[in-house]
Amino acid sequence: MRLAGLAACAALAACGAPPVEKSDWERGHEAVLAPAEEALELPAYPREEDLVEFSAGPRGEIRFFVDSASISPGKDGVVRYTLVARSASGAQNVTYEGMRCSTSELRIYAVGHGRDWVLSRSGWRPMQPGGAQRWHNALYREYFCPYRQPVASRRAALDALGRRATTDF
């Protein structure tokens, strides 16, 4: 029975396609054609009642949430959102992030400290397909960047999160 469960998990994991790796040349030429990045506006710090839990694969010690009030698909092709990762003991990390869907890139704009934001100096980086940060891959594939295109609106992202949340847990 345990082997059947492992086989089923492996089959489900194979269903989602990881972000496509691109060469430096492809990334360089896309950057020339990409719209300019919008000015950064930090959202309000997340409130508990606005957090939407999402599935990032098999449930482990860490649960993942997106602040529904912070989801913002931009005209620049970047979906911005606040991510909350919470351990079973109650410790949590809060980050304000962006996903550039067309290039499968991620950027952390700010990190939560207390109930304030501390700006991050990190730039855009390629997402790691199948890497240790499975939550980013889940957000990319399932919720914010279906078919490598940004969701059309905050409502579309919330609909995707709601639809998955009721079936994945």
Q: Is 157 domain-assigned?
A: yes
List b or e across 90-100, with b for residues whose CB sees 16 or more CB atoms inside 10 angstroms: eeeebbbbbbb
List, as one string, the DSSP characters of 41-91.
-PPPPP-GGGEEEE--SS--SEEEEEEGGG-EE-TTSEEEEEEEEEETTS-
Q: How much of the chain, in percent, has pLDDT values that exceed 90?
A: 51
Q: Is 1 domain-assigned?
A: no
pTM as predicted: 0.74
Q: Which domain holds residue 110?
A: 42-168
For residue range 14-70, list pLDDT tens digits in order. 344 445 566 776 666 555 555 688 888 999 999 999 999 998 776 778 899 999 999
Q: Is 6 domain-assigned?
A: no
pLDDT for 97 equals 96
Q: Is 31 domain-assigned?
A: no
Q: How far is CA 86 from CA 83, 92, 108, in A?
A: 10, 4, 17
Count up the domains in the chain and report the number. 1
Q: Residue 8 is encoded by which pair of tokens?
A: 């089923």
pLDDT for 72 equals 95
Q: Residue 156 is encoded by which pair of tokens?
A: 């579309």
Q: Is 11 domain-assigned?
A: no
Cα–Cα nearest to 155, from 4, 57, 52: 52
For residue range 83-96, list pLDDT tens digits in order. 999 998 989 999 99
